[in-house]
Structure 1
Amino acid sequence: MIIRRFPSTALAGWVLALGLLGETARAEPPKDTAQVDVSGDEAAARAHFDRGVAHFDRQEYREALDDFRRSLGHKRTRNAMGYAASCLKQLGQYDDALEQYEAMRREYPKLPPRTEATVAADMAELAGLVGTLVLTGDAPAGASLLIDDRFRGKLPLDKPLRVSVGRRAVRVEKEGFAPIAMTVEVQGGRENVAELVANSRKGRLRVSERHNWPLEIEIDGKATGTVTPWEGLLDPGEHTVRLRGFLEVEALLSCDVPGAKPGEKREAARQGARMESGVETVNVRLYDLAEVVLGAEDQDASLKVESAPRGARLRIDGKEVGQTPWEGRLPLGGHTLEVRAKGYIRARQDVTLERRKQRELTVALDRVPQDPGFWTAFGTARGVGATAAYGAGMLGLGVFAVSGVLALNTSADLKEACPDNLCPPERDGQKERAHALGVTALAGLIVGGAGVVTGTVVLVAVRPKGEERRVRTAATAWKVGLGPLGLSVGGSF
């Protein structure tokens, strides 16, 4: 700690300003106490004040501060507060000195002019010798903050902390954890940030069993080798906790056995019982204590579950436990099983477990009914026939389209070369070709139409029993005309 000694002339001015050298401050108590009513607190306050002044005059500021504080403990006076502030200033505790002056002004808002001027000057000087400190980083709630080994409050701080300028040792302590320590150079008149970094980044977990049974502890699925009750350090984050173990006669006779019927307790105690709790998830925070209380139950009953198909998801009492086949221990009594698999109807079943008996259960799932639909129908015999008919129809319509286009083009050429349908002999071959293309197009159209109609009739008319008809066919009429110069097609659907 840096201690700045102020000149004695400044102290003398302060003392004169307070009027501490006057008769009121230094007057001896009257010898005739019967004539003056002086309370015990007032007499003690005056005695400590006088001893404090004597220490102050000898520049024994630590001793003087102790006496002035004792005096204030008996009776609050302006003079004792002023002297205490001056001692703190001489000891280098500028932040405390400034707070002492502020308290003095609150309690005595109308100071004498000379005293007010001296207090204002001192406070202005102290403001430059004090900075504020803000803690960031690993600042655990509820921890004690010490500055230069002096307790300054509990975290989190409700406002920035005033700290005297200079190099300050900052330490954060919390029971059950390693302290966090650092140094910070505090500069006056500004905010100073201390970023705390814990060397051991741990949280603390406390585990107990509701019946005070000593059961083995599993954390994150691994045995710890410890029994309840237990408390220890863990990495921050979420952890799963479970209790399990076998209780002997003494433990069971001292407490009720969960799930036991009247008259079964002594028999269970005579043989002992296997106990297990559910899995509990707990969030462990840095430098904080998390606590979990688990209730174990008698697990001396086992269940084995198979399913058809295998690999189905299994839920017991609303909790996912894994895939089938599954085997495990459960509390005595009734349980509800739910088995699910993709493409199958979900199955629910109730089962009752008895002490020291294993139940084996096989659940057969029914497939979800499916509508074959239009495209699935092509995988049936009916679909094969419809596919063949539609294929022939598409081929015929293709021939019709190609031949028809060629016939139309050839007829257009003949019409241009043969006005009034009078064609020269050299055009006879072209006329025959146009006629042949027209016949081919007509044949393709007939085959295509017949294929489409046949395929539709097979899909619609020839349906399995109970299947609903979704498609209706209408009468199809075709009209085709063929002349030496062209081909005409018409129809209705």
Structure 2
Amino acid sequence: MRRFPARATAGWILALGLLGAKAAAEPADRTAQVDESGDEAAARAHFQRGVAHFDRQEYREALEEFRKSLERKKTRNAMGYVASCLKQLGHYDDALEHYEAMRREYPKLPPGTEAMVAADMAELARLVGTLVLRGDVPAGASLFIDDRFRGRLPLDKSLRLSVGSRAVRVEKDGFAPIRTTVEVKAGRENVAELVATSRKGRLRVSERHNWPLEIEIDGKATGAVTPWEGLLDPGEHTVRLRGFLDEEALLSCDVPGALPGEKRAGARQGAKMASAVETVSVRLYEVAEVVLGAEDQDAPLKIESAPRGARLWIDGKEVGRTPWEGRLPLGEHAIGVRADGYLDARQQVTLERRKQREVTVALDRVPPEPGFWTARTVGATAAYGAGVLGLGVFAVSGVLALNTSAELKQACPGGLCPRERAGQKERAHALGVAALAGLIVGGAGAAAGTVVLVAARLKEEKPRATAAGTAWKVGVGPFGLSAEGSF
């Protein structure tokens, strides 16, 4: 550290303060003497102790006393001595700043004093350089030079420093300090390159209603719950909130019950919540903040059936038996219910946000299988029986009629029959009539029985619920066979 002779340095100070010291030693009047009872008296006492330390070259002690004097009352003498002490201690940059401050405070110095001050400042200017920060210069960070706070970044002007090796430290809450060393050379602009060893930024995530939901960053679960703050690599990141929330808290928009000071964890059941995906830019040594609003993604549903205990399918997946209660995603859902002895049933339900739905599905019993002797079978049997009887009469009468006709043909050549054959001829005619009547009755019975069976079959072939609840109809269309059905 460069030292300057104390007497030589203080010579101009003595000249500077001559008038002030004289005035202080001999008050102008009684009023001035009375006034010097409070701060002025304390300022003078500190000033005098400072001069005593300065004469003994105890510059640190002198600097402390002069600064205390300035706190009580600002004087040109005390400011000059502070600058001189700083110069003796090697704080050339601070000494130069104090001279500049003294000039601003007392712009009309005596010519001799002004010349001495100008010469001293010129000498100090040759012992300082300026500092420029480059590289990682985080906004709002605190700058320390040799552990002394010198301002917030970015600096509005170049910083003046005494020559020599200077330790530069940049600190910002939530981040690792940035450190470097710069060799300050007089009269030059000295560049300190700041390089952050921890290349991180900070992200703060919260939910609009202050709900504790799990945080996903870049599509991956972090295990953290809102509100959260942590370090991330600089760049673009996607953020999304997911989780569950107590239904009462959801409806009242309250924060779920956690005692003050307790660390809240996301719920594992309740209303399913999610937010939109938002992209946020994280910068080095800066804090980015994102506030997301989560909305419920499902709604409660309660399903009953008559009879109870039926097997239940939701969207094609068996979920158990009725009664059933749970939460499903918002929108359309297909419900299928099946019970032994009942026809299957299917129903559509639409779930809306924050609205509970209750659905009751009534099943129809499977109709009993009909016995053999139904009206259809009785009618068909009677018709076919009459037909068979008629055909039997037709067959027997026809055979007898043919035999009798053959005998008459042999006995009556040329169609002339003796009188004794008249009875046989009438019998042949009667058998022919009987055969024709039997044929007609047999044909009518067969036709009637067929009509009964076909009509009943057509009625049965109408679309009906199958065991799986499906109705089918097969037909022929312009492009070939076609099938239609419903579930």
Shorter-chain TM range is: 0.5 to 0.7
Matched, 1:74 2:72: yes
Residues in 2 aligned to 1:110 and 1:5: alpha-carbon distance in whole angstroms: 29
Which residue type is aligned with residue 275 of structure 1? M
Post-superposition offset of 1:188: 0.7
**Conservation of the 8 A alpha-carbon contact between 1:252 and 1:272:** no
Three-state SS of the structure 2 residue aligned to 1:157 is coil
**Conservation of the 8 A alpha-carbon contact between 2:13 and 2:77:** no
Matched, 1:272 2:270: yes
2:128 counterpart residue number: 130
What whole-Å deviation, never above 9, does each CA across 1:451-480 have from its counterpart, x for those lacking one?
xxxxxxxxxxxxxxxxxxxxxxxxxxxxxx
> Which region of structure 1 is more displaced relative to structure 2, 18-27 or 127-136?
18-27
2:298 counterpart residue number: 300
Alignment CA distance shift 1:283-1:22 (3 Å):
closer
Post-superposition offset of 1:15: 3.5
**Conservation of the 8 A alpha-carbon contact between 2:139 and 2:154:** yes
Which residue type is aligned with residue 187 of structure 1? K
**Conservation of the 8 A alpha-carbon contact between 2:6 and 2:54:** no
Residues in 2 aligned to 1:141 and 1:93: alpha-carbon distance in whole angstroms: 27
What whole-Å deviation, never above 9, does each CA across 1:244-269 have from its counterpart, x for those lacking one?
01123564466269xxxxxxxxxxx9
1:157 counterpart residue number: 155
1:104 counterpart residue number: 102
Matched, 1:88 2:86: yes
Which residue type is aligned with residue 44 of structure 1? A
**Conservation of the 8 A alpha-carbon contact between 1:143 and 1:154:** yes
1:408-427 residue pairs with structure 2 within 5 A? Answer: none
**Conservation of the 8 A alpha-carbon contact between 2:233 and 2:282:** yes
Residues in 1 aligned to 2:54 and 2:234: alpha-carbon distance in whole angstroms: 53
Residues in 2 aligned to 1:105 and 1:352: alpha-carbon distance in whole angstroms: 82
The one of 43, 57, 62 equivalent to 2:60 is: 62
Alignment CA distance shift 1:332-1:249 (3 Å):
closer
Residues in 1 aligned to 2:23 and 2:13: alpha-carbon distance in whole angstroms: 11
Q: TM-score, with normalisation over the residues of structure 2?
A: 0.57
Post-superposition offset of 1:333: 7.9
Three-state SS of the structure 2 residue aligned to 1:79 is helix
Three-state SS of the structure 1 residue aligned to 2:36 is coil
The one of 184, 190, 210 equivalent to 2:188 is: 190
Residues in 2 aligned to 1:30 and 1:69: alpha-carbon distance in whole angstroms: 26
1:204 counterpart residue number: 202
Which residue type is aligned with residue 109 of structure 2? L
1:44 counterpart residue number: 42
1:17-416 residue pairs with structure 2 within 5 A? Answer: 17-20=15-18, 23-24=21-22, 27=25, 36-38=34-36, 40-248=38-246, 251-252=249-250, 255=253, 272-300=270-298, 354=352
Structure 2, unaligned stretches of length 5 or more? 256-266, 301-326, 333-348, 358-487
What whole-Å deviation, never above 9, does each CA across 1:114-134 have from its counterpart, x for those lacking one?
211211111000001111101
Residues in 1 aligned to 2:207 and 2:40: alpha-carbon distance in whole angstroms: 58
What whole-Å deviation, never above 9, does each CA across 1:23-67 have from its counterpart, x for those lacking one?
527738899889633252222221221121122112121121122
Residues in 2 aligned to 1:330 and 1:88: alpha-carbon distance in whole angstroms: 76
Which residue type is aligned with residue 281 of structure 1? T
Which residue type is aligned with residue 53 of structure 2? H
**Conservation of the 8 A alpha-carbon contact between 1:205 and 1:233:** yes
Alignment CA distance shift 1:245-1:204 (3 Å):
same
**Conservation of the 8 A alpha-carbon contact between 2:207 and 2:292:** yes
Three-state SS of the structure 1 residue aligned to 2:35 is coil
Three-state SS of the structure 1 residue aligned to 2:90 is coil
Post-superposition offset of 1:5: 1.3
Post-superposition offset of 1:22: 8.0
What whole-Å deviation, never above 9, does each CA across 1:359-402 have from its counterpart, x for those lacking one?
xxxxxxxxxxxxxxxxxxxxxxxxxxxxxxxxxxxxxxxxxxxx
**Conservation of the 8 A alpha-carbon contact between 1:212 and 1:228:** yes
**Conservation of the 8 A alpha-carbon contact between 1:165 and 1:186:** yes
Which residue type is aligned with residue 93 of structure 2? D
Three-state SS of the structure 1 residue aligned to 2:197 is coil
Alignment CA distance shift 1:67-1:235 (3 Å):
same
Alignment CA distance shift 1:34-1:198 (3 Å):
closer
Structure with greater Cα Rg: 2
Alignment CA distance shift 1:25-1:82 (3 Å):
farther
Residues in 1 aligned to 2:240 and 2:184: alpha-carbon distance in whole angstroms: 49
Residues in 2 aligned to 1:277 and 1:193: alpha-carbon distance in whole angstroms: 47
Residues in 2 aligned to 1:352 and 1:134: alpha-carbon distance in whole angstroms: 67
Alignment CA distance shift 1:243-1:23 (3 Å):
closer
What whole-Å deviation, never above 9, does each CA across 1:125-176 have from its counterpart, x for those lacking one?
0001111101010000000000000000000001111111100000000000
Alignment CA distance shift 1:31-1:232 (3 Å):
same
Structure 1, unaligned stretches of length 5 or more? 258-268, 303-328, 335-350, 358-493
Residues in 1 aligned to 2:104 and 2:176: alpha-carbon distance in whole angstroms: 40
Alignment CA distance shift 1:95-1:174 (3 Å):
same
Three-state SS of the structure 2 residue aligned to 1:36 is helix
Alignment CA distance shift 1:175-1:19 (3 Å):
same
Alignment CA distance shift 1:132-1:23 (3 Å):
closer
Residues in 1 aligned to 2:250 and 2:6: alpha-carbon distance in whole angstroms: 79
Residues in 2 aligned to 1:70 and 1:333: alpha-carbon distance in whole angstroms: 77
What whole-Å deviation, never above 9, does each CA across 1:63-116 have from its counterpart, x for those lacking one?
211221121122211101100000111111111110110111111112122211
CA root-mean-square deviation: 3.1
Count, aligned residues: 301
Residues in 1 aligned to 2:106 and 2:329: alpha-carbon distance in whole angstroms: 72
Q: TM-score, with normalisation over the residues of structure 1?
A: 0.56
1:479 counterpart residue number: none
Percent identity between the two aligned chains: 83
**Conservation of the 8 A alpha-carbon contact between 1:298 and 1:331:** no
1:390-469 residue pairs with structure 2 within 5 A? Answer: none
Alignment CA distance shift 1:109-1:331 (3 Å):
farther
> Which region of structure 1 is more displaced relative to structure 2, 203-212 or 176-185?
203-212
Residues in 2 aligned to 1:9 and 1:51: alpha-carbon distance in whole angstroms: 17
Which residue type is aligned with residue 147 of structure 1? I
Residues in 2 aligned to 1:60 and 1:333: alpha-carbon distance in whole angstroms: 85
Residues in 2 aligned to 1:19 and 1:203: alpha-carbon distance in whole angstroms: 54
Three-state SS of the structure 1 residue aligned to 2:113 is helix
Residues in 2 aligned to 1:114 and 1:298: alpha-carbon distance in whole angstroms: 82
Which residue type is aligned with residue 206 of structure 1? R
Which residue type is aligned with residue 208 of structure 1? S
**Conservation of the 8 A alpha-carbon contact between 1:242 and 1:276:** yes
